[in-house]
Chains A and B, each alone.
Chain A
Amino acid sequence: MAIDRISSLPDELLINVLNILPTKYAVITSILSRKWGNLFKEVTHLDFDDSLLFNSLSVFDHEKRCVSFRAFVCKMLGCLKLANLISFRIRCTATCEGCERESVGLWLSAILSHGIQEIDLCIGGTPDVFPHSLFTCKTLCILKLNFVFTILNIPGTVCLPCLKILHLQQVTVIDEDLIGRIFAGCPLLEEFNWDSLTWYDARQLSISAPSLRKLKLGDGKYFESSVFVRGAMDSVAIIAPLLQSFYYSDKLAKSYFIKTSNYLVEAHVDIYIDSCDFKDSSLSHAARDLIQGVSNVKRLFLSADGIKAVTLVKDELPILRNLTTLKIGCSTNPHLTLLRLLGSAPNLEELTFSEGLFHVGLTDKDTVQQDYWGRGVVPSCLKTHLKVIEIEHFLGLKEELRIVEYFLSNGHALEQLIIHKWMGRKAKFKVRKQFKRLGRRWNKCVNFNELFL
């Protein structure tokens, strides 16, 4: 016989479940049975999403939706003990000019005077109507702001003594001082994600963060923002002694000052450079300083454009002493830069070509034989430390095989060479046969992974 076990769970566990649900569903449980009637009033996590509220209302009935949504939130806030509220999340994309923002301002005022810990706002509108207490809340640990392309402007002081995580998404910042003020006011900040860095309309960026462990600047979609494309910044300064993870996607700035320490574990560098900037010799220093700033890193990912940045560096590259893993995208430049990088990473153990050695679509005619794979000093990491090489999108080009041969002959520590074949290529190529002639010993460490794309 089917029994109702869920209702016999202790109230606190049921409230746990309700806390996970979007608030609309939590309220709906009030109708399930008597036991459930008032449970929803005990939730400590609120999650309002206006896209969930419009089942019956017409999509085009804009004003009715706003009114309905506002009423819902007000009623809910009225039911709860606000003092117990831990987390407040609101997604409001159907906004009426002005009215929505004012309401949100009022709601926030009500919540902020208690012990709220997490606020996640996805709402169009400037924070001018938001209570200043949003930026001076003593208990706030997590703050996520998505203002749907409006300007973040905080006129007064920022003082969030408990804030650990700050996310800015689709937010425009025009005040150069603001970032500095935010960091000054958030001494415990551990994680800062700024996806919409492209919308930063200033020439300098300065981040000094004693507790920061994770930093994400940009979101890899720089090129897709056709609405507003900012030019290169004059300077980027980052002082973060405890930084563990660094993600950076933006146009190469004109100068860098980055101070990290051996805590830095991984860095993802995705730099965009205008083709005309290649002739600008001052960018050589910028690129070098950028690499210098992350030279402590253990795992480095360089996008195709990131490699272009390295190509710019005319002087010797900084030594990447701790680097054990290197993943690179596929650059249109020849692989000389790669050899230079390998030369600066004496302890490298893993090398991955995440987008292959050459762009898909190239043929043997397009790939010129490069001499430097034969001459010159072999990077020391190949002789002593490099254990694994992984190549995605292998096309079967002659030049690719030459490069592989180079690695196999010079890679004395090599244990595995993993090849992912690009099956999109029509012409069949007998890769195995070609590898066979490289000797039996090497056949043991070459591993084929055939991806069917």
Chain B
Amino acid sequence: MAETSSKKIILKSSDNEDFEVDEIVALESQTIKHMIEDGCADNAIPLPNVTAKTLSKVIEYCKKHVDVAATKPADASTSTAAGVAGDDELKKWDEEFVKVDQTALFDLILAANYLDIKSLLELTCQSVADGIKNKTVEEVRKTFNITNDFTPEEEEAVRKENQWAFE
């Protein structure tokens, strides 16, 4: 049932912790994929921009997506109902996965961006977008602790320029 190739890759976090993962999981990251292809992966792959805490979350994500892809029937693409059903389950898992505090969420976004994991980046950005959608400006500021550094005149000017959005 398992893939015959179980080559392991070691990923080193910024705080010097080593994570051993199956190569196929590591390949979810385009950045790591290029590093492996360029032959930089004989020893541990250093990831100076990702802490151990975030890296372990990222690995959890990649592993789940690789596992689900492996158990799908070979012909279940996004075109078929069977493919879609598997995707629905994964979607639910993704929704739970991304229910983390803001700090963790932004760490995940940066990590997904640096490691070039498209689906994780989309997932985390969607989560942030959900925090902005259907909210007033004040609510958004509060949610994300954004300081309003406009002078009252500046703010008025911007508001006026884009008033068509505020109606």
Interface residues of A (CB under 8 A from B): 2-7, 9-10, 13, 16-18, 20-22, 24-25, 27-34, 36-37, 53, 55-57, 68, 71-72, 75, 191, 213-214, 244-245, 265-266, 268, 298-299, 301
Contact = CB atoms under 8 A, between A and B. Distances in A.
B146 A6 contact: yes
Contacts of A13: 109-110, 113, 125
B133 A25 contact: yes
B82 A72 contact: no
Nearest to B74: A265
Contacts of A20: 125-126, 129
Interface stretch (B29-37, B90-98, B159-167): B159-167
B133 A5 contact: no
A266 B140 contact: no
Contacts of B43: none
A29 B109 CA distance: 19
B128 A6 contact: yes
Nearest to A28: B165
Contacts of B113: 10, 13
A24 B148 CA distance: 20
Interface of B: 75-77, 79-82, 102-103, 106, 109-110, 113, 121, 125-126, 128-129, 132-135, 137, 140-141, 144-150, 154-155, 158-159, 162, 164-167
Contacts of A31: 137, 150, 155, 158-159, 162
Given A75-B164, A265-B76, A4 B146 contact: yes
B165 A2 contact: no
A351 B127 CA distance: 40
Top 4 A-B residue pairs of the complex, sorted by shortest distance between their CB atoms: A27-B165, A20-B129, A214-B79, A2-B145
A21 B133 contact: yes
Contacts of A298: 75
Contacts of A244: 75, 77, 79-80
A9 B167 contact: no
B106 A245 contact: no
A57 B167 contact: yes
Main secondary structure of the interface of A (DSSP, over half): mixed
B80 A33 contact: no
A31 B140 CA distance: 10
Contact of B167 (A32, A55, A213): A55
A299 B83 CA distance: 12
B158 A30 contact: yes
Contacts of B146: 4, 6-7, 32-33, 36
**SS of B interface (majority):** helix
Contacts of B134: 25
A152 to B, nearest CB: 24
B79 A68 contact: no
Given A16-B125, A32-B148, 19 more contacts: A9-B109, A9-B110, A17-B128, A20-B126, A25-B135, A27-B165, A29-B132, A30-B162, A31-B155, A32-B141, A34-B150, A34-B154, A71-B164, A213-B79, A245-B80, A245-B81, A265-B75, A265-B79, A265-B80
A266 to B, nearest CB: 5
A313 B81 CA distance: 27
A28 B102 CA distance: 21
A303 B38 CA distance: 53
B1 to A, nearest CB: 17
B144 A6 contact: yes
A90 to B, nearest CB: 15
A388 to B, nearest CB: 14
A3 B158 CA distance: 24
A4 B125 CA distance: 16
B81 to A, nearest CB: 6
A133 B153 CA distance: 44
Nearest to B78: A214
Q: Which of B109, B110, B133, B164: most chain A CB closer than 10 A? A: B164
Contact of B132 (A4, A7, A16, A17): A17
Nearest to A55: B167
A6 B165 contact: no
A22 B165 CA distance: 11
Contacts of A6: 102, 106, 128, 144, 146
Of A2, A3, A31, the most chain B CB neighbours within 10 A belong to A31
Contacts of B109: 9, 13
A349 B5 CA distance: 30
A79 to B, nearest CB: 9
Contacts of B102: 5-6
B123 to A, nearest CB: 11
Contacts of A27: 162, 164-165
A68 B167 contact: yes
A223 B33 CA distance: 52
